[in-house]
Every structure is written in structure tokens, then in C-alpha cells.
Copies of this chain bind each other. A is one copy, B any other.
Amino acid sequence: MQFLSDNTSTACPEILAALEAVNHGRVHSYGDDEWTQRLERCFGDYFATSVRAFAVATGTAANSLSLATLSPPYGAVFAHREAHIETDECGAPAFFSGGAQLALLDGEHARITPQGFAQALADHPSVNVGLHSVQPAALSLTQMTEHGTVYRAADVARLCELAHARGLKVQMDGARFANAVAFLGCHPADITWRAGVDVLSFGATKNGALAAEAVVFFDTTLVRDFELRRKRAGHLFSKSRYIAAQLLTYLESGLWRRNAERTNALAQRLAQAAAQYLLHPVEGNELFLKLGVERRQQLRAAGFEFYDWGPPHRGEARLVVSWDQPAADVDALCAALARL
């Protein structure tokens, strides 16, 4: 039974059906087709505001292209030390931006705190040394975070306020955005543009798509730069309809919510079973457990696959529930946890 990551999952039948549904007729390439054209209206409806939205196929592309649009090569992007852009994208933000540097922040449960961010802005070398230092350019928030926790709307708003007051733009890495919305029970707008977010990497792949993410600009002034960077990076797809179709179905059919609610609920059951081992509150579809090396080994011996978290000797584990996870897997894991 496999709890490695939500990106080990299949694509939803609805998503594959959507590919079939658009698979007729020759249409203009590179996004000049009816489905891609409809994408922005669809995201506009979803967010209840006017947006510019662009499809890409990987989360790294979404994050790095948007950050490269927000930060000059000599910019600093504030991010949590556990952020995916720091730990798991092989330095992509620096590559796409021409060298922008991440300024790493601490914060419990992988959440940046307004206090921590304010302090980091105040202490940033640029304050003292001016142009001898990289220049604060953007704040990147991960929603939900890399520790499976969720920023409340008020926290996002406070962080955006601090960023904007210093002239920084705010990007949100929403690889698991649906899980965050489902957890909060809020409107997608509440934790994005209403709170001040300028650009969102909107993930769909982990939550049921085949390969589809979107970059959603609430601040639309930088869109031309983004489009040229996307093309230049090989992330503009000739047969764009097949990514667009995934995103349209994901949004319009309510798939985003159904899948996220299901995985969140299953994760809550696991959270109860594993309460004594929890390193972080379970607010989405991920659990982080301090099992110790031995119990971790027992779980694996019992047939459960999952990743070590951090250096092996720390005895920590991450378990992720996928949209296509059989409920029986969760039952079995609950039982196994009880037996530890």
C-alpha cells in the first residue's frame, strides 16, 4: 500500500475523458484554440475576479516562471526553508530568473509568520549595504505548506501587506491549493487575491490531472514578460488544448474539490490513528510522523510504502493520501498504526 506521494497517483477518469472530448478537428496551435481561450474565463469564474491564466505542465515550471517574472536576476525571494522551490526543484528559481536568490525563513510547521517575515525584511543585508546585496523582490508562500499545514486567510493577508509595503510581489505555490481551500472551507479568492497574492501556481496534477498546472496572474501587468519566458523555456505546448482540457474539467466539474475533500478526510482518519506521532497538525492530505527508525521499519515490513523525511537517522516519515487511494489502504494503515 502506497503513501509515497500524491504524484504517484493515476489521472482521474474525468480527465482522460476530457482529452478524448477535445480530440477532434485541427485547431490553431500554441494556445490559440477555443479551450485554451476559455481557460481565463474559467479561472476568472473560479476566483470571482478578472485574471490572466496560463497552462504549464509541471509545478516547477509554474513556480519558476512566475518567480522569474517577479524578480530581477539580483532579486531575493523570501521563502520558507522547507519550501519546495528550495529543497526539491534543483535550483530552478535561480535558473529561470538568471540568478535570483532565496532568502530562507524559519517558522513552525513550515509556515512563515508575519513576525518572522517582518524581522527578515528589517535584517536583510540590503538595508545596511544597499546595492552590495541582492534586493528583496518577492515573497513566496506555499499553500498548503510542505508540512501539510494551511495558512489562514488573515495570515496570508498580513504577509502580503508586509511584502507590498516594501515593494515586494507575492507568489503562491499552490501545488496542493485545492486541499487548502477544502480544509478552510473558504472561497478560493479569500486566500489569494483578496488577501493580496499577485500570482498563483495553481496545481492540478497531484489532485487528479495527468500533467496540468496553471499560472494565474491577479496582477496582470507582467503577463507579457511571463509569456515570453514560458515560450523560451519550452513550456508553451503546441497542442495546448490537451492541457487546457484538463484544467477546464478539473475546475468546472468540481473535481478539484471532490478529490481534495476526499483525501483530506482520509488523512484526518489517519491523523487520529497516529495522533501520538504527529510532528505537524494535519490540515490536508499529508502526515508527518516521528516514528523512530524501528517503528518506521515495522510499517514498511507491514507493506506500507512512504518516504523518510529528512535525514534517515531522524526516524521521521511523510505519508501522503492520493485522490485514488483505496479506503482500504487507509483502514489497513490505521490498524497498523494501532499495532505499533
- Hey, which bits of chain A sit against chain B, CB under 8 A? 2, 4-5, 7-11, 13, 16, 19-20, 23-30, 56-62, 64-65, 72-74, 87-92, 94-95, 98-102, 122-123, 125, 127-129, 131-135, 205-206, 210-211, 225, 227-229, 231-239, 242-243, 307-308, 310-312, 322, 324-325
Contact = CB atoms under 8 A, between A and B. Distances in A.
A58 B26 contact: no
A73 B232 contact: yes
Contact of A91 (B16, B74, B88): B74
A18 to B, nearest CB: 11
Given A123-B311, A211-B239, 16 more contacts: A7-B29, A7-B30, A10-B26, A11-B239, A13-B23, A26-B325, A59-B234, A60-B236, A72-B228, A73-B232, A74-B90, A74-B232, A91-B99, A101-B102, A210-B239, A211-B242
Contacts of A239: 7, 9, 11, 205, 210-211
Contact of A235 (B26, B28, B58, B236): B58
- 6 closest Cβ contacts across the A-B interface? A61-B234, A60-B234, A94-B99, A7-B238, A98-B98, A90-B232
B29 A5 contact: yes
A72 to B, nearest CB: 7
Nearest to A127: B311
Contact of A73 (B60, B62, B91, B312): B91
A71 to B, nearest CB: 11
A249 to B, nearest CB: 14
